[in-house]
Structure 1
Amino acid sequence: MAKGTLSLVGFSNESLNVNISSYGDTITVNNLFNTVKQQISMQKFSFLKQKLKSGFSQLPYLVKAFNLVWQAAKKWTVIWAILLIIQGLLPVATVYLTRQIVDSLVAALNVGVSQEKVIPILVLVALMGGVLLLTQVLGSFLSWVRVVQSELVKDYISYLIHKKSLEVDFAFYESAEYYDRLHRARQDAFFRPTALLENSGSLVQNGITLIAMAAVLTQFGVWIPAALLISTLPAFVVILNYSKQNYNWWLKTTADERRSWYYYYLLTEKDSAAELRIFELGDYFQSAYQSLRRKLRAEKVNLAKNESLANLGAGAIALLITAFALTWMVWQVLQKRVTLGDLALFYQAFNQGQTLMRSLLQNLGQVYSNMLFLGNLFEFLELAPQVIDPPTPRLAPKNLNQEIKFENISFWYPGSQKTALENFNLTIPSGKIVAIVGANGAGKSTLLKLLCRLYDPQQGKITWDGIDLRDLPIQNLRRLITVLFQQPVDYNASVAENIALGDLLATAKLPEITNAAEAAGAAEIIDRLPENYNTLLGKLFAGGVELSGGEWQRIALARAFLRQAPLIILDEPTSAMDSWAEADWLERFCHLAKGRTAIIITHRFTIARRADIIHVMSDGEIVETGCHDELLALGCRYAQSWKSQMQVN
């Protein structure tokens, strides 16, 4: 016989190679068959071992998920568990009562119907009706308990996600990887834990019933429970295999899913509505959305098709084993080895047993699948911030008495190769209005983020009256600062609430809110609104009133002014105002800032000229410093930019 390699198809659809040269020329078909059989068995074992190992690796998430459910709904989880146990035993009672009723009927028919024979049968029928009624009642009650559990768990998970979103560093929000994680955590967070709980509950309930059914079937032969197990194993393997494949596909397509949602947002939200119409971009983004969805849909449908074919094959195997078992049992009846009641019991027990076994293994597969997806939620919840409170914090000051100093600061944004600041030094004296001007990308807003500890510098330190900011509790530090960001949030709430959000701890009353609005130059705007300070702003909710960009900015300024912090930081505070409104606001601000320290980041030199000190930044460095007149006399960058702006104006 020629030597060579025999290639077969193995259990996991991989090529199985048997080297037949080692047997020499005297190889027999029997030896070859045994060798192939042995290798296939090893490959099957290896495949199942790999699947089980993958499943066991997810077990920590199962424990965490149950702990999460327990924390959210302790009382309802106890009630749920009790109901599951009772429901798990009721089908066994139904099977036994069925046999008793059938055997009693056969006996009564054989000897003749009489009152003595009918009454016990009616009692059995009544018991059967009671069991069925109890099953329905408990099922309805269990459905209600699951809804209560589900809502409590959803709200608890929302709380955890929101809490973690507020805890993580600001840097996370500038990372695409973070948004992928958030998308994966958020997408399945609300139903996966309850789905896992429901699957696990069904697993327990079906397991209890199945054990009892197996005990019933054992009287007809110990091979019958084994046949049940064998008939459902192919379906179990299919579930494990395709659960993993679906999960891997979901991970791979996270970025595409997020992009499709982005296109969806552009096509449906107000922020982009005007540009989409003016530049006729609707068809472009709609086409991009549909193209992406076609790709995702085709991949998902193909995966579902393969899974359906695999399930069809597994179902065919189960059907063959069922047919064999039923044929054997009918033969036993014909041989008068068992009664008709035994046949009814066997049919119900085997049929329910197979359904239960299939459900049990499906539940195991679904538990495994849900654990895979829940891994993303728990990975998100385990994200650890780097900007944290010091282990031994110093007592936070109540005011700024001397100065803020940036000392030899070097900083680069996470994931960036470019240094934003390098060996940077700057002193901001207390009680002064300091303007920082410069081109886009000069590093002005970076100073704001470092000062608020949204980031920490990689080298150097920032001090507040000589205290390193990293030695202060973060919350206490931020209470010392009030900020107007370049793009403040337009809250869809009442005017009073919009302003009061600047200092919730102060529980501001209307007089304080009114004073802040006056200081920001927003009072006249508010007086024109239909309900003044009670007017709902924004068009997101019914009855809301929309403001212009400059009017929204005045409301945001009032919110910043409400907090009586020793340090005021304004990032482009008048970018949405016209020159008349700007001049009015500037007078108000200079009056408000007396006795406090203010940092104004601006492109407008008409704002900067009113500052006590002006710093000109370029490429992460301070290149000029002085008051307005001093910088004009210097005749360098500031003076040239001033002349350019004045000519334009």
Structure 2
Amino acid sequence: MTVTERPGTSSGPPRFSPRGDMALLGLLRHAGTGSVAALVLVSVLQVAAPLAVAYVLGALAGLLVDGAAATAFDHALGPLLALAVMMLLTQASSALEKPLRDRVTRQVDGRVRHRVRRIALDAATPAELAEQSVQDDLELVTKGYSHHTAGAAATAQLALCFRRAATVAAAAALAVFSWWIALPALVLVLAQNALLRRQWAGTGGIRTLALRTQPLQRRADHLADTVTGARAAKEIRIFGLAGWFVSEYERVALARFTPLWSKRMRVMGEQWIVLGMSALTAVPVFVLIAMAAARGELTAAELLFHLRVALLLLAGSALGLEPFVVDYGKVSAAAYRRLLDRFGRRAPATVPGGTVEAAPAAIRRTDTVATAPPMIRFTDVGFGYPNGDRQVLDGLNLEIRAGEKLAIVGLNGAGKSTLVRLLTGLQSPQRGRITADGADIAALGLPAWWARLAVVFQSPVRYHLSAEDNVRLGNGALNDPEIADRTLREALDQAEARELVEALPDGLSSVLSAGYRGGTDLSGGQWQKIALARAFYAAGSGASVVVLDEPTAHLDVKAELGVFRKLIEATADRTLVLISHRFATVRHADRIAVLSGGRVGELGTHEELLARGGDYARWYHLQAALVHGRVS
């Protein structure tokens, strides 16, 4: 059995470069001024305190070595107190740095995520949201790249700036002893740090290689979870798949870890370069300081001060975690920038705690009386998907009369669900136009158009919310408790879902997900009833066009007929567009449209289409024969 590895997301591996590192600091504006100021103050203390401690320790050593024994304590009392203060400040800054950094990170990420959610809700169209590149960028911003977010990268970059400042400050202090020693030492320390960053975190580093092989890790995890889970246990045993799963897991694991092991060995072999650079930096510095002290050119205070400063300088070569966070968080920040460049001008500039722009009144359904249903026309509509080899709809012309019950049928792939996506504005026609009472639905404004629709898609969303919330989402703007409760009860009755809800552990309050404590999951047919109730709730609170795409596919025949009768009653003064493969249901529609070849091939009542003897009549008689067992 051959398995093709699934490639990673289109975002690909990160591209590392110094460019953009400092731009990350611009994200700090999304955090509170007080939080950033506090973090900067603590960071300044972390730079200054070690140098101050070195100076005070040197002064203290000089007093103890060079001063008279009788007065040594009196003279040392001031430096001792200063040392105690410095040590307290050092401890305090170390204790405060992480919580302050976490706070700023959360504030930045919170504002960034809020902005992209506003983009997803208000700016990007459903068709744009369906683009893989947009989905990848949204995931990168909300979850981070390898769990490293833009906010984490911004605070890590700030920490790196202060670490560099501490290294430069130590070199400047050492330059008091000898600038021609301090400058080469600084260059070597920074070069050593850059080398370590390239080996471990850069484009050719180990961690990047690990992320490039992440699809293999996901596959290995899937294989392991499948073997140890209960869902596949029956098939694994019946089909004798145990051996294949074990060997496939070993193959995938080796495919991932073999290049990682090889890379680690190569990097470890290169550590002699790092050790050599360390020796080339440290040995001359300490030897020259020792020689100067031996010649009496340095006092005890100066000797201790320069030794501590040299150690602080050499510590700047350490890699730390910040470069990893910066390099990977930059990928998330770049995704955020791409989303802003494309959608930012369309999205309302609101932030949590700020004033959220209210939707126009036309967008909100607040009445229980529907507006008059419009006359809808598809005129020479053409549409094809980017990766498709044909036009799904090609010159489609269709009139949906105000208030009529129109059924749409056709073979799989005929374009029925595509027609629904175009009617609901989730996709735009590539040719032709769709109008409501003569006005293009795009010109009406999609939010205003959506407010007139109640839709059940072929695969309705299963919200992990209470049963009541799942239904009320049909019109979240209906706030009158009395009207909302009455509409909720009517919707449950019309969808024949009242008994289903009453049988749940907590009734309407039951969470419809087994992943929550006390929650419960539903069957496909039960979920379809909840989705129908949501559409009925929308129709009962102002929607004038009801669109149902295979709304009863998971229901038994008795439940389907009951729901359809209620559907006809509930949409008496509304337009109903129904897509279904079950001709026992569609036969009751006012008219039936048969899609074929991207166009309407047949149109008429059930009786008219049977009399015509075309595709509809053939499909109807075939389905009837299957039901009665008369197919030979």
TM-score of the aligned structures, taking structure 2 as reference length: 0.83
* Map of 1:316 onto structure 2: 276
Unaligned runs of 5+ in 2: 1-14, 349-359, 628-632
Aligned to 1:7: none
User: Quick one: distance in 2 between partners of 1:80 and 1:86?
Assistant: 10
Counterpart for residue 551 of structure 2: 573
Is residue 156 of structure 1 aligned with residue 128 of structure 2? no
1:117 pairs, out of 57, 69, 72, with 72
Partner of 2:406: 434
Q: Does structure 1 conserve the Cα–Cα contact (< 8 Å) formed by 2:104 and 2:151?
A: yes
Provide, for residues 492-541 of structure 1, a one-character-per-residue CA deviation record: whole Å limited to 9, x for no partner: 32221111111101136322111110111112222333433223323121
Q: Which amino acid counterpart does residue 102 of structure 2 have in structure 1?
A: V
Q: Which moved more, 1:414-423 or 1:398-407?
A: 398-407
Q: Take 1:241 and 1:144, find their aligned partners in 2: how far apart are those partners?
A: 29
Selected match of 2:439 from 467, 471, 483:
467
Instruction: Name the structure 2 match of 1:617.
Output: 595
Tell me the SS of whatever aligns to 1:462.
strand
Distance 1:254 1:459, change over 3 A: farther
Tell me the equivalent position of 2:43. Answer: 84
Given the superposition, is the C-alpha separation of residues 255 and 399 from structure 1 closer, same or farther in structure 2, using an over 3 Å criterion?
Answer: farther
- The structure-2 alpha-carbon separation of the partners of 1:411 and 1:80, relative to structure 1 and needing over 3 Å to count, comes to same
Q: Within the alignment, does 1:196 sit opposite 2:153 as a pair?
A: yes
Q: Deviations over 1:372-426 (max 9, x none)?
A: 563244335545499999xxx9989984555111111111112323211111111
Correspondence for 1:512: 487
Aligned residues: 586
8 Å contact kept, 1:180–1:255: no
For 1:388 and 1:334, the matched residues in 2 are separated by 70
Change (3 A) 1:466 1:255: farther
Whether 1:419 and 2:391 are equivalent positions in the alignment is yes
Matched, 1:642 2:591: no
Gaps of 5+ in 1: 1-52
Corresponding position: 1:74 with 2:33: yes
Q: Which moved more, 1:76-85 or 1:179-188?
A: 179-188
Amino acid across the alignment from 1:170 = P
The Cα of 1:483 is off from its aligned counterpart by 0.5
1:344 aligns with 2:319: no
Q: Which has the larger radius of gyration?
A: 1
Distance 1:381 1:195, change over 3 A: same
Which amino acid in 2 is paired with 1:244? T
How many Å separate the matches in 2 of 1:596 and 1:510? 22
- Equivalent runs, 1:593-632 vs 2, <5 Å: 593-632=571-610
Deviation string for 1:191-215 (max 9, x for gaps)?
A: 3434433433333433443344333
Query: 1:400·1:464 contact (CA, 8 Å) conserved in 2?
Result: no
Name the CA shift for 1:445/1:494 in 2 (closer, same or farther; >3 Å): same
Q: How does 1:479-628 map to 2 (within 5 A)?
A: 479-507=451-479, 509-564=484-539, 565-628=543-606
Q: Give the equivalent residue in structure 1 for 2:91.
A: 136
Residues 50-80 of structure 1: CA deviation (Å, up to 9, x unaligned): xxx9735435xx42x3333321333211211
Residue in 1 that maps onto 2:20 = 58
Deviations 1:281-307 (A, max 9, x none): 677567656644443333344444434
* 1:216 and 2:194 matched: no
Q: Note the C-alpha offset of 1:122.
A: 2.9
Residue 104 (str. 1) matches residue 63 (str. 2):
yes
* 2:373–2:575 Cα contact (<8 Å) kept: no
Distance 1:89 1:158, change over 3 A: same
Quote the offset at 1:125 in angstroms: 2.0
Report Cα offsets for 1:399-454 as digits up to 9, x if no partner.
Answer: 45551111111111123232111111111111100000111101000000011111
Greater helix proportion: 1
Please report the TM-score for the alignment, with normalisation by the length of structure 1: 0.81
* More displaced 10-residue stretch of structure 1: 176-185 or 517-526: 176-185
- Match of 1:422, SS state, is strand
Which has the larger displacement, 393-402 or 632-641? Answer: 393-402
Letter in 2 for 1:644: L
Q: Aligned residue for 2:162?
A: 205
The CA distance in 1 between the partners of 2:93 and 2:442, in whole Å, is 58
For the residues of structure 2 that align with 1:347 and 1:613, how far apart are their CA atoms?
Answer: 93
> Quick one: distance in 2 between partners of 1:181 and 1:362?
24
- CA distances 1:260-284 after superposition (whole Å, capped 9, x unpaired): 6766786788987887777676775
Distance 2:248 2:120 in 1: 30
C-alpha change, 1:460 and 1:497, in structure 2 (3 Å) is: same
Structure 1 letter corresponding to 2:431: Q
Amino acid at match of 1:410: G
Q: Which amino acid aligns with 1:118?
A: F
Q: More displaced, 236-245 or 270-279?
A: 270-279
Task: Give a deviation string over 1:429-481, Cα, whole Å, max 9, x none.
Answer: 11100000111101000000011111111111000110011212111111111
Query: How far apart in 1 are the matches of 2:280 and 2:237?
Result: 62
Letter in 2 for 1:162: R
What is the distance in 2 between the residues matched to 1:351 and 1:495? Answer: 64
Q: 1:232 aligns with which of 189, 197, 215?
A: 189
SS, match of residue 543 in structure 1 = coil
Distance 1:66-1:337 versus aligned 2 partners, 3 A rule: closer
Deviation at 1:234, TM superposition (A): 3.5
- CA drift at 1:230: 3.2
* One-letter amino acid matched to 1:542: R
Secondary structure of the structure 1 residue equivalent to 2:530: helix
**Quick one: distance in 2 between partners of 1:408 and 1:257?**
49
- Following TM superposition, by how much is the alpha carbon of 1:544 offset from its aligned partner in structure 2, in angstroms? 1.8
CA distance, structure 1, for counterparts of residue 347 and residue 106 of structure 2: 33
Contact 2:216 2:255 in 1 (8 A): no
Give the secondary structure class of the aligned counterpart of 1:502: helix
1:211-242 alpha-carbon deviations (Å, 9 max, x no partner): 44333222221112113223224324424534
CA contact (8 A) 1:520 1:554 kept: yes
| Structure 2 counterpart of 1:210, one-letter code | T
Matches of 2:46 and 2:347, distance apart in 1: 50
Q: Is the 8 A contact 2:43 2:162 kept in 1?
A: yes
Query: In structure 1, how many angstroms separate the alpha carbons of the residues matched to 2:78 and 2:333?
Result: 49
Check conservation: 2:226, 2:232, Cα contact below 8 A. Answer: yes
- CA-based RMSD of the aligned residues comes to 3.4
Q: Distance in 2 between matches of 1:464 and 1:556?
A: 25
Decide which moves more: 119-128 or 433-442.
119-128
Task: Report the equivalent of 1:168.
Answer: 124
Q: Post-superposition shift, 1:149?
A: 2.0
Deviations 1:68-93 (A, max 9, x none): 33213332112111221222111111
- 8 A Cα contact 1:570 1:600, kept in partner: yes
| Alignment check: 8 A CA contact 1:441 1:619 kept | no
Verify the 8 A CA contact 2:148 2:325 in the aligned structure 1.
Answer: no
**Partner Cα distance (1:179, 1:287) in 2:** 34
| 1:592 CA displacement | 0.8
| Distance in 2 of aligned mates of 1:495 and 1:381 | 36
Q: What's the CA shift for 1:548?
A: 2.6
Say whether the 8 Å CA contact 1:99–1:341 is kept in structure 2. Answer: yes
Point out which structure has higher relative CO (alpha carbons under 8 A, 6+ apart).
Answer: 2
Residue 299 of structure 1, aligned match among 256, 259, 274: 259
